[in-house]
Amino acid sequence: MKRTDFSVDWLFAACAPDTELLPWNAQFTPVDLPHDWQIRHADDLYRDGTLFYRKYFFVTDVPGTRRMLWFGGAYMDTTVFVNGTEVGQWKYGYTSFWFDITDALHEGQNEVLVRCNLRHPNSRWYSGAGLYRNVELWEAPDLHLMPDGLYVAAKEGDNGAWTVAVTAEAGSVTAASAGHTLTLHLTDDNDSLLGTASIPADAWAALPSPDGWRTGKETAIYKASHTFTLQDPALWDLDAPNFYHITAELTGADGVTDTLTTRFGCRTIEATPDCGLLVNHKRVLIKGVCIHHDFGCLGSAFEYSAAKRQLEILKSMGVNSIRTGHTPPAPQFMDLADEMGILMDVESFDCWRSGKNPYDYGRFFDEWQEKDVAAWVRRDRNHPSLLFWCIGNEIYDTHAGSEGADTMRMLLAEVAAHDPARNGIPTLGSNYMPWENTQHCADIIKVAGYNYGERLYASHHEKHPDWVIYGSETSSIVQSRGIYHFPLSQSLLSDDDLQCSSLGNSRTSWGAESWDVCLQSEQRWPFTLGQYLWTGWDYIGEPTPYHTRSSYFGTIDTAGFPKDAYYVVQAAWLDPKTHPMVHLFPYWDFNEGQLIDLCACTNAHSVELFVNGESLGRKVLDSAKGRTASWQTPYRPGSVKVVAYDENGKVVATDEQDSFDDSAMVCLQADRKTISGDGRELAFITITTRDKNGNPVRNANDRVTVRVNGAGVLVGLDNGDSADPDEYQTDSRRLFSGMLLAVVAGNGRTGTITVDVTAPGLRPAVLTLNAAPFEGPVRRRLPPLTFGGSTQEIPVRKLTLTAERTALDKEHPVTHITAARRPAAATFTDIEWQLTDDKGVPAVNAAMQPDGDVLTVTALGDGTLRVRALARNGHDAPQLISQLELSISGVGQLHKNPYEFISASRFDASFGDIGNGNERGVSTSRTGRSWVLFDDIDFGPDGADTVELPIFVLDGEPTTFRFWDGEPYAEGSTMIGERVYHKPKQWNVYQPDTFKLDKLLRGIGRFAVELNVKVHIKGFTFTRHSRAWDTLAAGACDAVYGDSFTRDGSRVLGIGNNVSLLFDRMDFGETGCCGIRITGRSPLPANTVHLLFAAADGGETERRVVEFGPQADWGEQTFTFEPVTGARQVTFLFLPGTQFDFDSFTFI
């Protein structure tokens, strides 16, 4: 079979969604493949459209030749036309497919037109769009080897003998098989022939009429098999990936007519319930990561150079296995895994029938899953890196009912039909393992991946000893490279800068408690196979906990730059004997006196920290508790250094961070010096800056402009900043945390490529690459988009804070903080000030008065707080946060004010698995009872019984909330309401709801919220009860004075001359009151009562007059008057001559 690259010289046009026919006026532009339409518009990555790709090509008629068009992947809902004739459809965007186009061709020029219909939302991540993988043209004789029909199963026998069972399929449209022979050749990686077998056509088995999953036009399919024997073969292993090859040849009267080769390896893989994963009979702990398929600034277009770089960086972290979340990868990715010794957990679907988005695969599942399973399994079944066939991720069908188990059996049968020798092990990755229906499915498949279900391992292993258990998704700890939110002891999911702390203290509600806890799980549960961290690499989409551009989950950002978590994982996964390491973080540039948590991760026995040469102590690490040590010390300029020691006290590794100044020069470092000039190979250039002393500026955010001249072209820029709104494929971006990636390719010429990088006020840098000679077609790259803003901007890198004093008390309740911008030449001058607690929630124990660069802080109550200065640098959200700690003592205690928003993160006590919620909220336990309690709340004398909670539910089902006065179920506590919340789910969006409680809460009290399911609660606000509408006793007045009256319990009797009863806190709202009911008694025919409504804000006092009487016995009289609105102080004024006994009143 002749395979020709078909990826160049295409034309592309984007049209309106659901366009069936190509518009006559469609605007086509030249593109080469792979091509991702969406990545060129980073501000609109999820737009809809119908994408048309057109290519003209010439065909010379060769009798008996079949031509097939193969697509590595097309996103999505694809239809292929040749010369106006539809030759096939393919719905799924992630499986490879081909169509026989022979009957639509004619000699001479032909046209292929591909239509992809893209609607959103279609995935939970960034999918990309269009022909984002390679395309090939295949040519074969009428009787030909089926492209995916060569199947190899190498199995170990006795005494070092291995059997290599080979099955080959041949297909025919019209030709007969008689007179043909299938010959199989077994060779090693050096092309040495190890065996040959010839099978004549009369020994072939005719398969039943072509199955429904086949896409070709073959009317007859034949199968031939042979088993070779290998003695003591070189094994495929993680450290030594050795290969063998099977070549199938079809021969006829004229000699060899068709050839097909596949590569395989000899290895044994066993997944056991008690002894873990055995590869070639050796225990291998899965040190895995999940990754999605995009490459940051390159989008979803598959790039071999990017994939290889990605796997090399991950392998250096200690990774030995990849889980392709949640779709089949590009075929070249599997080749790389084979060659690099990486085990592959290859996933198929993120949903079955029950979709997760309106336009996802769920709408096609019933009709297309059989074709997709066949395409998925048959393409990758010979890869020695193959470990798992994962038939689904977090599949709701398995949870919803018994139908899920039936679907699982169907899928397992289909996988087995195409991989009967179990080269790959079927599995399922699920977050529904706590529930019975999914457990029933696990009992069918037996190899169960748990998404964030470590707490279930022990009980499920005891209950189901035949299950094989592993962590298919773990961690989900979010972090932004080089961003640190202090203190380390405070879990901080989100902050105003739209970044997550790289200290490791940004925990999601469902994820691991910490990196150390996550990475020690196999020590706690040694029977498990290991785990897959979510994720190894940041990806576009799913930007929990914000609504930014890309994810924060990765140990490596979208640019391929390691975060601190990368080194924490290294400390757990690298062998200290062969790869000793230590990593110190954060960088060393903060406000003088600011308390800094310094962390060191190492795989060594112990580690010691030095600050400016002074030891802060050596710490011995317990591997059962983690591989990270921490110290807290005030910042002072200089250097910090960590030294790692082995068990004998020998130094095995060191790391150091130095203070630094503003950027003075640009620095460039390329990962290679030579690339092919054909545009297919990429060079990855890291851009950094150094200060005038040559120190790396770790928090540099300078805007640089990149110019590529000569034999190259700039492909894209990526800084790994999820919150950066700039384009990916542009010529100018800011550094993020001191780094920026530039991607360069050849432009079809050979010779020198010059890369020039400039930045305002900095010494520029120049780097040269060589574009090497090449053969074959050139892949043209679109030129970068020109940056639309000012390339001369100078962002604020740091706000240096200086305080008169940081400890306030009764005698010194005021301090002034001054902020200085660095660099001084920054073109952005805005500064915003905040006072917060450690969680970033506005502090209530101090008041602030900003005046430009100076902030005055006045103490109001005891406790600690943080002064924060923020700079936006021209963006919508702050780009940096500088902070300094203050302490207040001797001033007095302040209570929580329920009438202003109280963040849920300010809870004082809790029960159950309480985690971080979005926007400084909390999340409750997924299963079982959990609650949060808020203490020391001042509800005031009038109290409140109405509370509003912004709520985010995960499933949209009715959710029961229980509210308590006090700690739930504790003695003296009272449940004050059981209410149901039910609103349509909006992912990562809080929706407020208001609940009326059974009891009015007054005075200093406590309030608790209890649930039995997982929800996110942002916080709460009570509505102050307005006693203006209550029936108030006269004796409940706030003051009474005058010539004659007597207090008698709740009544005021004998009211005579000039008596006034004052009632504060009477709020009539916008509607207002328009009357009153008074209960009293009087012998007089009329008692004139003056109602004085004094405005709370000092405005005009309004007067209403009513006449009460006669009323010999206690009775009620009703009066109406012109409405009175707003907050008022109400005075009942009785003038001389009054004789009145006052019981109560009600405004109406």
DSSP string, 985-1003: --TT--EEEEEEEEEEE-S
Interval 712-720 mean pLDDT: 97
Of the candidates 463, 390, 460, the residue with the CA atom closest to the CA atom of residue 425 = 390
**CATH fold match for the domains 665-772 and 902-1025:** no
**pLDDT score recorded for residue 1097:** 80
β-pair partners for 709: 754
Residue-wise pLDDT for 414-455, tens only, equals 999 999 999 999 999 999 999 999 999 999 999 999 999 999
pLDDT band at 55 (very low <50, low <70, confident <90, very high): very high
3-state secondary structure of 785: strand
Q: Which residues have C-beta within 8 Å of that of residue 331, sequence separation ≥ 6? A: 72, 96, 379, 380
Element (H, E) at 815: strand 814-822
Residue-wise pLDDT for 341-386, tens only, equals 999 999 999 999 999 999 999 999 999 999 999 999 999 999 999 9
- CA torsion angle for 552, 558, 564, 566 (degrees, to 10)? 100
Residue 518: phi and psi, rounded to 5, are -60, -45
> Cα separation of 426 and 338, whole Å?
19
Q: Which DSSP state fits 918?
A: G
Residue-wise pLDDT for 610-633, tens only, equals 999 999 999 999 888 899 999 999
Cβ proximity of 597 and 630 under 8 Å:
yes
Looking at domain 665-772, does it have CATH number 1.10.760.10?
no
Interval 784-796 mean pLDDT: 92
Q: Which residues have C-beta within 8 Å of that of residue 783, sequence separation ≥ 6? A: 713, 714
pLDDT band at 210 (very low <50, low <70, confident <90, very high): low
Residue-wise pLDDT for 565-622, tens only, equals 999 999 999 999 999 999 999 999 999 999 999 999 999 999 999 999 999 999 999 8
Residue 649 has pLDDT above 80, yes or no: yes
pLDDT band at 52 (very low <50, low <70, confident <90, very high): very high
Task: Please name the residue that has the structure tokens 């529930």.
Answer: 435
Q: Which two tokens stand for residue 135?
A: 């395309």
Which CATH number is associated with domain 798-888?
2.60.40.1080
Domain spans in the chain, listed from the N-terminal domain onward:
2-141, 145-264, 282-573, 582-658, 665-772, 798-888, 902-1025, 1028-1147
The sign of the CA dihedral 1008, 1009, 1010, 1014 is: negative
Cβ proximity of 131 and 70 under 8 Å:
no
Residue 254 has pLDDT above 90, yes or no: no
Cβ proximity of 31 and 129 under 8 Å:
no
Share of the chain above pLDDT 90, in %: 92
Residue 898 has pLDDT above 90, yes or no: yes
Q: Which residues have C-beta within 8 Å of that of residue 33, sequence separation ≥ 6? A: 7, 8, 10, 131, 133, 134, 135, 301, 779
Residue 815 has pLDDT above 80, yes or no: yes
Residue-wise pLDDT for 730-768, tens only, equals 999 999 999 999 999 999 999 999 999 999 999 999 999
> Cα separation of 612 and 637, whole Å?
8
**Cβ-based neighbour number of residue 41 at 10 Å:** 15
Residue 875: phi and psi, rounded to 5, are -100, 170
Please report, as a single letter, which amino acid is at residue 2.
K
Distance of CA 81 to CAs 84, 133, 367, Å? 6, 18, 21
Tell me, letter by letter, the H, E, C secondary structure of 184-212.
EEEEECCCCEEEEEEEEHHHCEECCCCCC
Interval 156-172 mean pLDDT: 96
Residue 79 has pLDDT above 70, yes or no: yes
> Cα separation of 200 and 556, whole Å?
54
Fold of 1028-1147: Jelly Rolls (2.60.120)
> Cα separation of 552 and 964, whole Å?
36
Cβ proximity of 557 and 538 under 8 Å:
yes
**Cβ-based neighbour number of residue 814 at 10 Å:** 14
> Cα separation of 1114 and 1141, whole Å?
9
Interval 203-214 mean pLDDT: 83
3-state secondary structure of 1095: strand
Fold of 282-573: TIM Barrel (3.20.20)
CA angle 136–141–143, rounded 5-degree value = 120
Element (H, E) at 332: helix 331-340
Residue-wise pLDDT for 979-1034, tens only, equals 999 999 888 899 999 999 999 999 999 999 999 999 999 999 999 998 999 999 99
β-pair partners for 903: 1019
β-pair partners for 938: 1004
Q: Which DSSP state fits 338?
A: H
Interval 246-275 mean pLDDT: 96
Residue 1105 has pLDDT above 70, yes or no: yes
Looking at domain 902-1025, does it have CATH number 2.60.120.260?
yes
Distance of CA 599 to CAs 375, 477, 621, 697, 905, Å? 48, 17, 13, 19, 25
Interval 675-701 mean pLDDT: 98
Residue 1070 has pLDDT above 80, yes or no: yes
β-strands 959-965, 244-252 pairing: unpaired
Residue-wise pLDDT for 320-335, tens only, equals 999 999 999 999 999 9
Of the candidates 474, 475, 514, 479, the residue with the CA atom closest to the CA atom of residue 494 = 479
Task: Please name the residue that has the structure tokens 């592959």.
Answer: 344
**pLDDT score recorded for residue 174:** 84
Residue-wise pLDDT for 819-850, tens only, equals 999 999 999 999 999 999 999 999 999 999 99
Q: Which two tokens stand for residue 390?
A: 């994962």
Cβ proximity of 679 and 781 under 8 Å:
yes
**pLDDT score recorded for residue 987:** 82
Cβ proximity of 680 and 713 under 8 Å:
no
β-strands 425-430, 447-451 pairing: parallel
Mean pLDDT of the chain, nearest integer = 96
Q: Which residue has the higher pLDDT, 1144 or 957?
A: 1144
> Cα separation of 688 and 914, whole Å?
40
End-to-end Cα spacing for the chain:
91
Residue 209 has pLDDT above 80, yes or no: no
Cβ proximity of 950 and 986 under 8 Å:
no
Fold of 582-658: Immunoglobulin-like (2.60.40)
Residue-wise pLDDT for 899-910, tens only, equals 999 999 999 999
Q: Which two tokens stand for residue 717?
A: 């820029």
pLDDT band at 177 (very low <50, low <70, confident <90, very high): confident
Architecture of the structural domain at 145-264: Sandwich (2.60)
- CA torsion angle for 851, 853, 858, 860 (degrees, to 10)? 100
Query: Residues of 298-331 as b/e, b for ≥16 C-beta within 10 angstroms?
Result: bbbbbbbbbbbbbbebbbebbbbbbbbbbbbbbb
Distance of CA 111 to CAs 5, 53, 74, 84, 216, Å? 16, 10, 18, 8, 20
